A and B are shown apart, each in its own frame.
Chain A
């Protein structure tokens, strides 16, 4: 056996191996992972934000990782996800191309309280007077999902909701096409803090405790020895984010404490549960945090605008409401203004 023979064999194998097509989605995820890791080990704050003007639109790069101008070319071919927004208490849909649709229920529709979320069956909303319903865009009407007056509601996957009614009962309900109750659990104790796929968190059962419920049972979430006010939460990707008056705390669904984050009670967990966006105390930045460690991996600078709210599009794009505008980022970088809001009534939910 000679080296030439080895070379020939390796060449023959190399030529014969079937080459798969690149997986654009997996690649995009890997790029984000590399960026986050570089940002973590990099010199935080050493790089100034760069505001560039592209075709008249302001584009802002996040602090931390080096810019990768070519990355945008590699995004999956699917257009950016539509985003339901509330403007003046009416629901409208912002297309991925940045076009704002009409008021879905018309100018005389009920005042909206919350956009619960987007499902294959349509946008689920909670009106200001406690009606939980699905927007029927074709007929421009609201189809109620339940007869109860509802205090709060969260999507449970994309085919049902978990909600708390006016009597403090927590219930599940299928969304469509047949309005049948899922009714897998209900309780008359506590307050519904948040919900996710086959899971929810109650506060106050018993005596102020915080408990996650899922198919495996009940899991206490230990916030520590200090009394603190819970203001909300998110569940996704097996991660529970609990917002308190002091910041946020992160848990596994089984109750394992992951990390704590000091700061404002303004934040949002990404749809995959891998990232938590937190409004900085200065209110002009958004910290991108790994909920499993509590480490800030990136900082999104909004060039002095006052941040009001953060959220996520269904495709994982970060959304930031500032005074007078909505910013959308590709993932957590390359942020640009996609909607102006001169009246200052824009909300994400």
Chain B
């Protein structure tokens, strides 16, 4: 580690908030997001000395979160699936425009891999190839996941027009 490299605690203090936001979009739930991020950061912490490019640590954490999400959706689920997400209260507790909230509500209902594909492609700005690597799927699957995600969202919100 060079003298200018951040310590893990400095990294965590600086990056906790933005990484939590990514975790929230991946998990769709604040509690799951916190667990997901905590787990990913713990893995990063114990490997910190072996991460040569500290500037790439964000990507390391994000990849750990995606892998954790992947293992969760591949794991047999103990809980019963339900059509209704828990009531988050008015506005889902988020202070955003109604049209953004309506769309987010539908995105949260997408299968985790579809949601992760959208987040990596359109928030993290990864290419299709990079998204495929992160998710451990083929580029073709990234394309089809994106296509089906948009199809579902358009079907759920046929009249939605996002205003600017």
Interface of A toward B, CB cutoff 8 Å: 1, 3, 5-20, 22-23, 26-27, 30-31, 33-35, 38, 65-71, 73-74
Contacts and interface: CB of A to CB of B under 8 A. Distances in A.
B121 to A, nearest CB: 8
Contact of A8 (B41, B93, B162): B162
Given A1-B153, A7-B123, A30-B42, A70 B48 contact: yes
B46 A13 contact: no
17 contacts: A1-B103, A1-B150, A1-B160, A9-B100, A9-B107, A10-B107, A13-B25, A14-B22, A18-B93, A22-B38, A26-B38, A34-B43, A34-B45, A34-B46, A67-B49, A69-B48, A74-B9
Interface residues of B, number: 46
Contacts of A38: 46
Contact of B42 (A6, A8, A34): A34
Interface of A is mostly: helix
Nearest to A14: B21
A188 to B, nearest CB: 46
> Which of A5, A9, A15, A30 counts the most chain B CB atoms within 10 A?
A9
A22 B16 contact: yes
Given A16-B95, A68-B48, A22 B21 contact: no
B122 to A, nearest CB: 4
A146 to B, nearest CB: 45
Nearest to A22: B16
Given A6-B118, A17-B21, A27-B42, A1 B9 contact: no
Contacts of B123: 7, 10-11, 14
A6 B12 CA distance: 29
- Residue of B45, B47, B119 with most chain A CB atoms under a 10 A cut-off: B45
A13 B98 CA distance: 11
Given A1-B153, A35-B46, A30 B103 contact: no
Contacts of B160: 1
Interface in B68-83: none
Given A6-B118, A10-B123, A17 B30 contact: yes
B158 to A, nearest CB: 9
Given A5-B103, A19-B16, A66-B47, 7 more contacts: A1-B153, A9-B99, A9-B100, A20-B30, A22-B16, A30-B42, A34-B46
B162 A9 contact: yes
Contacts of B97: 12
Nearest to A6: B122
A74 B12 contact: yes
B60 interface: no
A163 to B, nearest CB: 41
A36 to B, nearest CB: 10
Contacts of B161: 1
Interface string B118-141: 110011000000000000000000
Given A1-B153, A20-B34, A9 B103 contact: yes
A22 B34 CA distance: 8
Interface string B40-64: 0111011111100000000000000
Contacts of B100: 8-9, 12-13
- In the complex, which of the residues A1, A23, A26 has the most CB atoms of chain B within 10 Å of its own CB atom? A1
Contact of B38 (A14, A27, A35): A27
Q: Which 10 A-B pairs have the closest CB atoms?
A: A70-B8, A73-B9, A30-B42, A5-B162, A14-B21, A9-B103, A9-B100, A7-B122, A12-B100, A16-B94
A195 B38 CA distance: 35
B104 A65 contact: no
A13 B104 contact: yes
A270 B43 CA distance: 23
B157 A1 contact: yes
A20 B45 CA distance: 19
A23 B38 contact: yes
A17 to B, nearest CB: 5
A216 B12 CA distance: 45
Contacts of A12: 96-97, 100
